[in-house]
Structure 1
Amino acid sequence: MLKTPERVPFRLTRDIIDGMGITGVEGVFRRCCEETLSVMRTNKEALLTIVEVFIHDPLYKWALSPLKALQRQKETEDYDGVNLEGLQEEFEGNKDAARALMRVKQKLDGYEGVR
């Protein structure tokens, strides 16, 4: 709901790295990440089946429409001079869901492609 939304889901800051001890990210943290990814890749089909359910769920919203996002921003900030009616457009959440599922498949397959 921020004016400029946060795009980074997780920040590995120096404070977090310092808390990992002398090995930092090259010790237990790295091994845990590698093992987690290995387990996810081994069970890729089950994981994708679970995520795929959300594509067909009419009650789940993958993203906010531009109108809803601005309305929520307006609730938290004072937004002067913004025309909300101009942003009323058809919004399809299933396209966002399909894009998210494709990105998950790419990550599980090991592709580092550009979004």
Structure 2
Amino acid sequence: MSMDLPKPIADYVAANARLDIDGMVKPFQPDAVFIDNGKNFEGQAAIRQLFEDEVIPVKAIFTPDTAWEEGDDFVVEGPAHGDFPGSPLRFTYRFKLANGAIKTLETTV
């Protein structure tokens, strides 16, 4: 990936490419919220469970190809490939950062 992403986002994307669940959780604040198509997962434990249940089993890897800032948000788009119906699917990831970590991540297809 040749995009210049903020460090917590770049760390998350790199860990996802390795399907490294610890690395995927690490950039999130302890009380972060991950909103996956309208469903909220609050805190690192819930986010870890989401990754264990939904990402790792289907080897879903997000490969961003577009990024921009929109107000307080950092928006990243790109395809996710994996062993799931419709792969690859194009996702939009909307990040809010605070104190060098991911505060909120909202994903939509």
TM-score category, normalised to shorter length: under 0.3
The higher-RCO structure (CA 8 Å, 6+ apart) is: 1
Instruction: Provide TM-score, normalisation by structure 1.
Output: 0.24
Max Rg structure: 1
More helix by share: 1
More strand by share: 2
